[in-house]
Structure 1
């Protein structure tokens, strides 16, 4: 039987392999142990590569939301710290199991916050489901992450994240404005009819006019200038 997993697979007699894992972790790599029939036959050193747009996306999200992103990862603390430093993230929580990520998201929301969780792996699904908004990176995301997420980014481009947040906020403002316009027209027409005499043609015109006005206001969202573009790469 072939097993590939974390250093937790190492036993008390695997001191040489532990030293190799330690060397990998000291330089910011993640050690992966390979066993065949219970015997350690190799240790692999894996390194996550930071995407070119990661630092810009972190800076944009921080400026847009006023909250600094948090890195939740199952990697060892040294590898996580290296990635965080390259991405501009200061709050790092490493060596987390799926239930630990879930607990972190739940704790954030228990204190009145709203969490947007971004991930692409099977281990991210529980936290993604518990977050206010779950976002999956579609091109490399696992099927479970895609099924669980509220939003799927079809491009592997982190710069779309702040653009999506800005889009959602702008759309929400338009919805509120349209509801306000429609409600104002209805209140005015009803009050006019109750306390005065509202001619039927004028009532129909006012009602349909509010519908047209709301529709035209909503069409403003289709303008290219209405949506902040993601950074050009």
Structure 2
């Protein structure tokens, strides 16, 4: 049974996983956050914030902290840290498992245009549209060149500098879990189109349902190739059923 577990977090599922594992009191649980949110919600167990310095830095952290198991519960588009986790775990000869929530799938009424990259999304936006950019601040810069488009940009934290857009409206806050609230926001802002990544999960899905109700098109950026390998689980419950974690998941 692992004694120290490092969770590479930043997702709702990672927070739930940390709470479930820490509740057992049978292992030291450390969740690592990238540090993109200024005031993250408190997590069960220990928390560290910031990068590791590539695969070598992560391997050094694993050795220095006697980590027995790494769980990659990062965002589905966090390809760099996932790749580094694979290299570091191999180097340290410890197991790596991942929590990879399923991608969203279109249903009747959805008007998706699927694109492979952010660059493809930039060119696919029609002229004079009002577009909700639901991407996170680190991914919006490529759209700044579209001076013929009005962007509504939603961020959790106030940006540290002015956004490089000629036509933009900043909305602070997380995506609302309530579909009615998201529908009202889209209609109130005069949104013609949403640009987002296929993140999966429930946390940001309300806007997709709201777009369906309003008949709005969604530019959906597909996920990068799957890097998680064989030991991957689609939900917290499934992961906790893995042999490595089964006894830890039971607090009794």
Given the two structures, how large is their TM-score scaled by the length of structure 2?
Answer: 0.32
> Which is greater in Rg?
1
Give 1 or 2: higher strand fraction: 2
Give 1 or 2: higher helix fraction: 1
By relative contact order (CA 8 Å, sep 6+), the higher-ranking structure is: 2
